[in-house]
Amino acid sequence: MGTAPGPEGAGPLQKDSKVAVVKVQAVGAAPKQVTMKGLYFQQSSTSEEITFVFQERENLPVTEDNYVKLQVKACALSQINTKLLTEMKMEKDFFPVGREVAGIVLDVGSKVSFFQPGDEVAGILPLDSEDPGLCEAVRVHEHYLVHKPEKVAWTEAAGTIRDGVRAYTALHYLSHLSPGKSVLIMDGASALGTIAIQLAHHRGAKVISTACSLEDKQCLERCRPSIARVIDVSNGKAQVAESCLEETGGLGVDIVLDAGVRLYSKDDEPAVKLQLLPHKHDIITLLGVGGHWVTTEENLQSFQLRILKDVMEKLSTGVFRPQLDEPIPLYEAKVTMEVVQKNQGRKKQVVQF
């Protein structure tokens, strides 16, 4: 079974982590203030609950040779996986929030070779970044950034880069998607599912998808190119394996991109959550000979810059069309992140400041 990396907190293709995109309006020189607000989270020592807080932080210059200082124009917020941070022994009093950013280069270190002040860029901050993406300016190593095409909006760049990298890694590198292959994309109306469907269609694949609600089903049925079959799993009675086998003439699908599975029957799992997830035996049953079952993990620490570049190029040419909600102001970012952390909602939200 392949494993496609997903960013911190993205979860194993969880039922759509809502994403909030933070957009900075001003386009000019570096902020003049000595301090600025950044969003952080603090985890309770006695439980997994976390609290989001704005904190004042210094507006520091670039001191490392290979680092870039960025005026943030947009930042996508994704669910934070506290278990992952604990496993990686990343213990801090306050963790910075926001990793997927787009913005304008303000300053560069002495050894930066790919960027210069004024460049428009997008990228993903590393897990150990000291700066929160949800801030007016951040410092980041140049190898985590790529140039943003001029025609791509700030919010689209930040809001797509995470799901684009995950979908591209899963379908291109781990399962070698090619024209004529059949692919089952679970929870296709989620933010990640939408991008994965668009990439699969672009590669000439036959797409089957599952819908977790009537609204999702209607959304998927409106997709163009059309999806071969939309399987409604909202009532928990859908036979996903049988539907896939029927659609493929009994051969099974070539690729499965899952959105979480039941490995065991757990009494403590919420019934609603369980009924929307297929059992691992269903996935094995519907896979064809030599098929690939791809799931995701939380850690997006290492990725290839050419994937980031390809995601930006596909945004520019219209292959990727992200689902973004209407922008909301910065002062609502804390509340928005609380919604994201609870994994509520479908479309990616946009926080603007």
DSSP string, 44-102: -SSSS-EEEEEEEEE-PPP-STTEEEEEEEEEEE----HHHHHHTT---SSEE---EEE
Residue 13 is predicted with a pLDDT of 42
Note the pLDDT of residue 347: 80
Could you read off the pLDDT tens digit of each residue along the chain, which spans 353 residues?
Answer: 555 544 444 444 444 444 556 555 444 444 455 788 999 998 775 556 788 999 998 888 888 999 999 999 999 988 888 877 777 777 778 899 999 999 999 999 999 999 999 999 999 999 889 999 999 999 999 999 999 999 999 999 999 999 999 999 999 888 989 999 999 999 999 989 999 999 999 999 999 999 989 999 999 999 999 999 999 998 877 789 999 999 999 999 999 998 765 555 544 444 444 456 677 788 888 999 999 998 865 455 556 788 999 999 999 999 999 988 887 777 788 988 988 888 767 788 766 65
Same fold? 35-148+323-352, 162-295:
no
In the chain the beta strands, taken as DSSP E runs, fall at: 2-5, 20-23, 35-43, 50-58, 67-77, 95-96, 100-108, 120-124, 137-141, 145-147, 182-185, 206-211, 229-232, 253-257, 287-297, 324-329, 348-352
Topology of domain 162-295 in CATH is Rossmann fold (3.40.50)
- HEC-encoded secondary structure of 182-206: EEEECCCCCHHHHHHHHHHHHCCCE
Q: Which CATH class is domain 35-148+323-352?
A: alpha beta
Q: Kindly state the tokens that stand for 272.
A: 């609603």
pTM here is 0.83
Q: What is the per-residue pLDDT for 268?
A: 46
Domain locations in the chain as residue ranges: 35-148+323-352, 162-295
